[in-house]
């Protein structure tokens, strides 16, 4: 037979176990969305990526209109996350990765506060949501540097707009080739002349013209001749390339040899 004293201890023990159970289970009940990751569906995410890729490219272009990196901070990397509603309005803007320079961070976030977007394209989403969450990387690099990525409900990147090809090295090589054949007329070696042309997929040149004249007809003519005499590498990315080159400092060995 259990004494009253033991019964009391037993009762308190039961109550203690009950309260402990509440403490353990209540957070899981009320915070289930945060505690349990949403199961990913690769096939659905791939379809979502294809559907939103054009819109993400549009988002990049819109932000570039309003964002200009601060002087001497052109290569600061800043990452922000935000939500775009069905109507194209921005909310839940936050800094995901700081550049380490407060003014540079504020400059990027300020651009996001004034930018506006077109309504979202009509897409069927498995969760029935009418918004998208986006991560955007601000970084001024030769190939454009900005990257918009679509996020799933766990905050994982599931779609990235393709990064534009970096034509910097190809353009520099084209300039070297043209300069080898550029002989400015004597007495006009310091004149600046800009030539514009297209390099087709097979490496041939078309649509050659003077972009900005030097003011000296012979100098312009020699610049066009330099392009015609040059042979170029096949364009990268299997596409035509439009180039604009400014000739202003001839090679030393070419001076006075027109």
Q: Helix, strand, coil % (nearest 5) of the chain?
A: 40, 20, 40
> Which CATH number does 168-254 carry?
3.30.1150.10
Is residue 32 very low, low, confident or very high in pLDDT (cuts 50, 70, 90)? very low
Count of CB atoms within 10 A of residue 11's CB?
10
Residue entry with tokens 């012979």: 218
Q: Is 122 or 216 the better-scoring residue by pLDDT?
A: 216
**What average pLDDT is seen over the chain?**
77
pLDDT of residue 20: 52
Residue 36 pLDDT > 60, yes or no?
no
**pLDDT grade, residue 7 (50/70/90)?**
low
User: pTM for this structure?
Assistant: 0.47
Q: Where are the domains of the chain?
A: 42-160, 168-254
Going from the C-alpha of 221 to that of each of 152, 204, 213, 224, the distances in angstroms are: 57, 19, 10, 5
Reply yes or no on whether the pLDDT at 131 is more than 80. Answer: yes
> 70-111: per-residue pLDDT in tens?
877 767 788 999 999 999 999 999 999 888 889 989 999 999
Q: What is the C-alpha separation between 113 and 90, in angstroms, rounded?
A: 8
Classify each residue of 184-195 as buried b or exposed e, where b means 16 or more C-beta atoms within 10 Å of its C-beta: bbeebbebebbb
Q: Structure tokens of 19?
A: 């309260």
> Which residues on neighbouring strands pair with residue 198, listed in sequence order?
206, 242
pLDDT over threshold 90, residue 16: no
The answer to whether 42-160 and 168-254 have equal CATH topology is: yes
Q: Rounded distance, CA 245 to CA 178, Å?
A: 9
Q: How confident is the model at residue 144 (pLDDT cuts 50, 70, 90)?
A: very low
Classify domain 42-160 at the CATH class level. alpha beta
């Amino acid at each position: 037979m259990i004494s009253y004293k033991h019964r009391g201890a037993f009762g308190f023990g039961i109550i203690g176990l009950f309260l402990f159970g509440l403490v353990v289970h209540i957070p899981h009940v009320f915070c289930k969305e945060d505690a349990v990751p949403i199961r990913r569906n690769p096939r659905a995410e791939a379809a979502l990526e294809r559907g939103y890729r054009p819109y993400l490219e549009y988002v990049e272009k819109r932000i570039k209109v309003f964002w200009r990196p601060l002087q001497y901070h052109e290569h600061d990397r800043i990452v922000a996350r935000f939500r775009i509603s069905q109507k194209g309005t921005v909310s839940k803007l936050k800094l995901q990765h700081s550049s380490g320079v407060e003014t540079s961070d504020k400059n990027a976030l300020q651009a996001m506060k004034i930018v506006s977007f077109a309504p979202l394209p009509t897409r069927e989403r498995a969760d029935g949501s009418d918004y998208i969450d986006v991560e955007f990387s601000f970084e001024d690099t030769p190939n454009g540097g900005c990257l918009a990525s679509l996020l799933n409900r766990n905050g994982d990147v599931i779609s990235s707009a393709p990064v534009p090809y970096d034509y910097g090295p190809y353009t520099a090589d084209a300039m070297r080739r043209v300069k080898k054949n550029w002989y400015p007329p004597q007495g006009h070696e310091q004149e600046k002349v800009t030539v514009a042309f297209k390099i087709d997929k097979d490496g041939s040149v078309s649509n050659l013209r003077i972009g900005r004249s030097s003011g000296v007809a012979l100098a312009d003519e020699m610049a066009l001749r330099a392009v015609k005499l040059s042979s170029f590498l096949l364009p990268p990315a299997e596409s035509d390339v439009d180039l604009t080159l400014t000739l202003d400092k001839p090679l030393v060995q070419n001076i006075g040899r027109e």
